[in-house]
């Protein structure tokens, strides 16, 4: 289970990131892939090179980077979220299509395109194929959220009905069911408001407010994907925009903290606790990847522009999961 989010600052910085909710650690690290890095398509075995430098959270297996979310030097970003019960992949390669494995989709997007304007027309030619890097790695069930520094945002889903591309006007994505269902479901919450309702009389009884926040009474608070979508959309679309990058980051993390999972609150069918392993935020204009972890609430940052983007090697940054405390005396 995960929640992805976009947010804009008054100055025009575009932020994108997610909560990674899992009952296990997948040995994740922040990874920098340089321009011109050669990798092999999982689906076809074809050797290709990345056009752009890429920064994001993921893991490297058999020298192959696999991202949970990432963005490139041009400001195009993509995140994959669990889509269990709905994701459906093609069994065979299609001769007249661009064949992509689910685990490669993010890498394909951010290594080849500068913007959604470039990406959107190509998606009609994509075939997502049921292929894995090796037999020990399960094929993920995902849908994807893509955004850029123009503020455009898409959701891409492959189901039994085919590949569908949605324009995402609310800037939020969670998990199953399909994105269009989530959007329709928002209509059930038209009565939610950030404003206080007026006090009224029922008969001769005057009903008085018991405190602030009554306008949002009925806002979901459980951890279901459907509930997290509503809550994140409400908070995101009512948030007071930060003036600049740093104030925007504060609001970004605050919103995602409101839909994060506390250890012990969600038990999976495997009898493990589902927790928010990490929360990420990418500033698409500045080229900086920020993240916190479940154990370390201090914000860690990696600036793409301070690295050699023409290097010949992938760079892996340590995953800072130990509690960090600033002592004042």
- What is the per-residue pLDDT for 203? 94
Domain membership of residue 124 (yes or no) is yes
> Is 153 marked active-site?
no
Per-residue pLDDT of 88-97, as tens digits, reads 999 999 999 9
- What is the per-residue pLDDT for 42? 95
Domain membership of residue 210 (yes or no) is no
Q: Provide the whole-model pTM.
A: 0.95
Q: How many domains does the chain have?
A: 1
Domain membership of residue 249 (yes or no) is yes
Classify residue 229 as left (phi > 0), alpha (psi -120 to 50) or beta: alpha
- What is the per-residue pLDDT for 323? 96
- What is the per-residue pLDDT for 270? 86
Catalytic-role residue among 2, 78, 127, 283: 2
- What is the per-residue pLDDT for 120? 98
State the SS3 of the chain: CEEEEEEECCCCCEEEEEEEEECCCCCCEEEEECCCCEEECCCCCCEEECCCCEEEEEEEECCEEEEEEEEECCCCEEEEEECCCCCCCECCCCCCCEEECHHHHHHHHHHHCCCHHHHHHHHHHEEEECCCCCCCCCCCCEEEEEECCCCCEEEEEEECCEEEEEECCCCEECCCCCHHHHHHHHHHHCCCCCCCCCCEEECCEEECCCCCCHHHCCCCCCCCHHHHHHHHHHHHHHCCCCCCHHHHHHHHHHHHHCCCCCCCCCECCCCCECEEEEEEEEECCCCEEEEEECCCCCCEEEEHHHCCCCCCCCEEECCCCCCCCCCCC
Distance CA 3, CA 20 (A): 7
Domain membership of residue 325 (yes or no) is no
Domain membership of residue 329 (yes or no) is no
Per-residue pLDDT of 103-155, as tens digits, reads 999 999 999 999 999 999 999 999 999 999 888 889 999 999 999 999 999 99
Buried b (16+ CB within 10 A) or exposed e, 95-133: eeebbbbbbbbbbbbbbbbbbbeebbeebeebbbbebeb
Distance CA 224, CA 282 (A): 25
Q: What does each C-alpha distance from 143 to 272, 306, 311 come to in angstroms?
A: 24, 32, 31
Residues of the chain with pLDDT under 70: none
Domain membership of residue 198 (yes or no) is no
- What is the per-residue pLDDT for 227? 98
Domain membership of residue 87 (yes or no) is yes
CATH number of the CATH domain containing 288: 3.60.60.10
Distance CA 257, CA 253 (A): 6
- What is the per-residue pLDDT for 74? 98
- What is the per-residue pLDDT for 135? 83
Domain membership of residue 227 (yes or no) is no
Please give the residue range of the domain that contains residue 271.
2-190+240-317
- What is the per-residue pLDDT for 185? 98
- What is the per-residue pLDDT for 242? 84
């Amino acid at each position: 289970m995960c929640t992805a989010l976009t947010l804009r600052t008054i100055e025009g910085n575009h932020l994108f990131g997610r909560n990674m909710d899992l009952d296990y650690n997948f040995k994740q690290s922040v990874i920098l892939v340089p321009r011109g890095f050669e990798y092999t398509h999982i689906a076809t075995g074809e050797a290709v090179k990345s056009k752009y430098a890429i920064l994001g959270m993921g893991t490297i297996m058999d020298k192959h980077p696999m991202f949970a979310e990432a963005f490139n030097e041009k400001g195009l970003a993509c995140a994959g979220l669990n889509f269990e019960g709905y994701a459906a992949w093609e069994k065979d390669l299609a001769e007249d299509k661009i064949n992509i494995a689910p685990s490669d989709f993010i890498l394909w997007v951010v290594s080849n395109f500068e913007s959604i304007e470039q990406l959107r027309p190509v998606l009609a030619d994509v075939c997502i194929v049921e292929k894995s890097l090796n037999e020990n790695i399960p094929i993920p069930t995902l849908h994807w959220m893509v955004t850029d520094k123009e503020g455009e945002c898409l959701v891409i889903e492959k189901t039994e009905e085919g590949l569908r591309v949605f324009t995402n006007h609310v800037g939020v994505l969670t998990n199953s069911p399909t994105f269009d269902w989530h959007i329709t479901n928002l209509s059930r919450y038209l009565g939610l408001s950030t404003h206080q309702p007026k006090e009224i009389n029922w008969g001769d009884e005057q009903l008085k407010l018991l405190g602030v926040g009554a306008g949002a009474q009925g806002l979901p608070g459980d951890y279901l994907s459907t509930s997290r979508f509503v809550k994140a959309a409400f908070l995101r679309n009512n948030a007071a925009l930060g003036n600049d990058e740093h104030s925007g980051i504060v609001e970004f993390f605050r919103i995602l903290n409101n839909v994060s999972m506390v250890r012990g609150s969600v038990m999976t069918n495997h009898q493990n606790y589902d927790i928010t392993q990490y929360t990420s935020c990418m500033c698409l204009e500045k080229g900086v990847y920020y993240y916190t972890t479940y154990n370390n609430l201090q914000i860690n940052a990696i600036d793409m522009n301070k690295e050699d983007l023409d290097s010949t090697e992938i760079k892996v940054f340590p995953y800072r999961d130990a509690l960090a405390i600033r002592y004042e005396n």
